[in-house]
Structure 1
Amino acid sequence: MPNIPIGDEDGTTAGDETGGDEAVVLRGAGIEKTYDSRLPWRRGVDVLDGVDLEVRAGEIVGIVGANGSGKSTLMRILVGALDPDGGSVTRSGRVGWCPQESLLYDRLTVAETFDLFGAAYGLSAEAVADARDRLADRLDFERFLDYQVRHLSGGNRQKVNLAVALLHDPDVLLLDEPYTGFDWETYLAFWELTEELTERGTAIAVISHFVSERERFDRIYELRDGDLVESDGESGGVGDGGTAEESGPAGESHAADADGDAVSDPTEVA
């Protein structure tokens, strides 16, 4: 399990300082990342080239970009799971992370998964149970609490992945393709939940390859040529809404099980 920073009592992640602007709870300054080429005679690939980003309490920021543009690399650096080659990241308070590839263990039940992450977050058993039941009801996976994770459909697995990131009531929530596999009802429930979180002051950054409902975001950036550019809505990756089918979870099509949840494998039943 990666070492995801959890806030100290004063609300500042160990080793980080937020400076004088208390409203900014996540700041990336001059972030650089280069991946070495597999061919020794070729130079490395500059994935991130001096990225600057600020996310304030109570706002939701979208980051879009083409496949391979470095979105997930940026997210992993922001959360502290990957070191940048240059620049710095400062975070204030508790951080929640919902990665594109889940951190769930296949042979644990859903309930055991919450116990594991709750212990990692330093939560009491009672606090874990309360948060788990509330999130399971909200995201509609309570009937699967005794299922092993490996038997969940893709949609239900993603619900649990998101709920684990919310378990400790984070001040900063980082979401990488969070609604992939969601059916339409769960997609709407996701946005209702994020609205409530931002109203309480949670800062949220959502990374996706496509954003169809611009009005849900305070700001949207496009990661292009290693840098973040604030989107004007005309560039790729940002849509203008549309029908429910068009503006659904990442504009993707998924096979559905009997409950309408997307399944990642035809042998999965939950």
Structure 2
Amino acid sequence: MDVRDVHHSYGRHAVLRGVDLDLRPGVLAGIVGENGAGKSTLLKILSGEIRPDRGAVRHRGEFGYCPQSVVLDDSFTVRQHLDFFKSAFGLTDLRRAEEVLEALDCTAYLDRRAGLLSGGTRQKLNLTLALMHDPDVLLLDEPYQGFDWETYLRFWELATRLRDAGRSVLVVSHLAYDVDRLDELWRLEGGRLHRRESRPEKETAA
């Protein structure tokens, strides 16, 4: 994914002031920033949900987007959500979705309605729906909110496996947790991305 000189404003308030980003295959990257820095706006632009005022975003291959706000139908079961998205993505089976649910320890909830799920389990489903078509580029906005510690670790194991399989994974958060798990890290500040050091042991070995 190539992002060049992206600008976006809400009225007279400039949120993004020239964002550049190169997300390569096989990279687990992170963007951190304070609340209100424009992280969610940037992800919405990267996913195509909104258009930037200026600049360009180019994707290579399919992408999956896990928004911060869970978008589920409370009357649908987990299985019904999977069947709906299977049709939307044009998939022939749910093999990949089942793998993600297993990785997140969520298979026991297949026949439970979304409205009866805990916040953390709803987020597991939200993440599964973003990954079930095995996209090349993954855009994850606060993907582990509501997770307990074990699920939090399971998330990072899954993200690492996706990176090792050649996927481009971008995790956006307001806190720089687990910086050592990331290959690349940027801070969104003043409407621009600033490169930060990450995985210093990897750079030293190189």
Classify the TM-score, shorter chain: over 0.9
Structure number with greater Rg is 1
Higher RCO (C-alpha 8 Å, min separation 6) = 2
Deviations 1:95-147 (A, max 9, x none): 001100022221111001011111111112xx22x223222221111111111
Residues 1:114 and 2:82 aligned together: yes
Deviations 1:178-235 (A, max 9, x none): 01111111011111111111111000011000022211111111110100011247xx
Matched letter for residue 87 of structure 2: A
Identical residues among aligned pairs (%): 45
Q: Distance in 1 between matches of 2:191 and 2:80?
A: 39
Q: How many residues align?
A: 198
- TM-score, with normalisation over the residues of structure 1? 0.72
RMSD: 1.0
Residues 1:216 and 2:181 aligned together: yes
Query: Secondary structure of 2:58's match?
Result: strand
Q: Distance in 1 between matches of 2:172 and 2:97?
A: 25
Which structure features the higher share of strand residues? 2
Residues 1:178 and 2:159 aligned together: no
Which of 62, 65, 73 is residue 41 of structure 2 equivalent to? Answer: 73
Alignment correspondent of 1:150: 115
Contact 2:78/2:111 (CA < 8 Å) preserved in 1? yes
Which of 39, 47, 53 is residue 85 of structure 1 equivalent to? Answer: 53
Q: Distance in 2 between matches of 1:137 and 1:175?
A: 19
Runs of 4+ in structure 1 off by over 3 angstroms are none
Query: Secondary structure of 2:19's match?
Result: strand
Alignment correspondent of 1:264: none
Contact 2:119/2:146 (CA < 8 Å) preserved in 1? yes
Q: Distance in 2 between matches of 1:215 and 1:148?
A: 37
- TM-score, with normalisation over the residues of structure 2? 0.93
Query: Secondary structure of 1:136's match?
Result: helix
Which structure features the higher share of helix residues? 2
Unaligned residue ranges in structure 1 (runs of 5+): 1-25, 37-43, 234-270
Contact 2:66/2:143 (CA < 8 Å) preserved in 1? yes
